[in-house]
Amino acid sequence: MERRTIGAGALGVGAVGLGCMPMSWAYSGSRQRGEASLRTVHAALDQGTTLLDTADMYGPFTNELLVGRVLKERRGEAFVSTKCGLLVGDQHIVANGRPGYVRRACDASLRRLQTDTIDLYQLHRADPEVPIEETWGAMADLVTAGKVRALGLCAVGARARRRTGGGLHDTTIRQLERVQQVFPVAAVEAELSVWSPEALEALLPWCAARGVGFLAAMPLGNGFLTGTLTPGQGFEPDDVRARHPRFTAEMMAANQPLVVGLRRVAARHGATPAQVALAWVLAQGPQVVPIPGAKRERWARENAGAAGVRLTARDLAEIAALPPAQGSWD
């Protein structure tokens, strides 16, 4: 698989990563048998997918334990990204950016992951009660201590935090400008897909201008862009899509032209709609690494195959001409 670099430190990873969250969190059947999830991670590594993206809150904690079982056997083949900053309670998820917590969270993640070093340690959310510089300073100390190789900022929740006025990622960019004064940002993780391209407006250009890597979260639109979901299908209560405005029967039907367009391009390449959707993300810049989630071996292999799909100027123009996605994404 093609290799890409993240940040000024030139951290090398396979062009397509693996989002491990769906194995433990947020989707129907996430708490599947551990052995099936292990096979999925091993299959991804076998295909040249090296970046494994997880977080302490997924499960919580069980996703890191799962990844740790793989790292114990194949640490030299993997690049592990995990996150701190969110605590999961019975009813709420709350941010915690206190320096003492950050240090304890890192040590706990290292134990669960069965490794001495985390390749990329990301702040999952900024704590509104703690200056982000203090949180970032504690994370920088972890780099100095040799527990972490590089730092990143996760902006996946930007939509939920947006208030009226301003761009989608204005707050994230202001945070990035602040923490850059403390310690270099190696990567930003944010949503980017054919049906959610807003990061192209300002956030991705900000990263490109500064040599900051970009991890594209939800590059398959929570599975919609794979073409395997049908309008009106139900989702289990524990699946985030059951409460998602774009996954009502009406909105899924309204957005079918996106899938039809991806299928048309895919047919020319002997590929799947999912692979074309990922190839589109890869085409947005050499520092962009999509991290599609996968629960099954076959999906991990299919996603990895997107690294070999080379979209032409005609393909990209055709995708650009597709109608924008309908429905609220908040």
Would residue 54 be called left, alpha or beta, if left means φ above 0 and alpha means ψ between -120 and 50 degrees? beta
Among candidate residues 27, 58, 101, 121, the one labeled active-site is: 58
Cα–Cα distance, 290 to 51 (Å, whole number): 10
Cα–Cα distance, 53 to 26 (Å, whole number): 15
Residue 104: count other Cβ atoms within 10 Å of its Cβ. 12
| Length of the chain in terms of residues written | 330
What are 79's strand-pairing partners?
Answer: 51
Would residue 322 be called left, alpha or beta, if left means φ above 0 and alpha means ψ between -120 and 50 degrees? beta
DSSP 238: T
CB 14 within 8 A of CB 1: yes
Has 27 been annotated as catalytic? no
Cα–Cα distance, 171 to 148 (Å, whole number): 26
DSSP 140: H
Would you give the distance in Å from CA 180 to the centre of its chain?
21
Query: Largest alpha-carbon pair distance within the chain?
Result: 54
Compute CA distances 305 → 47, 196, 270, 310, 315, whole Å. Answer: 8, 22, 11, 11, 18
Catalytic residue positions?
A: 58
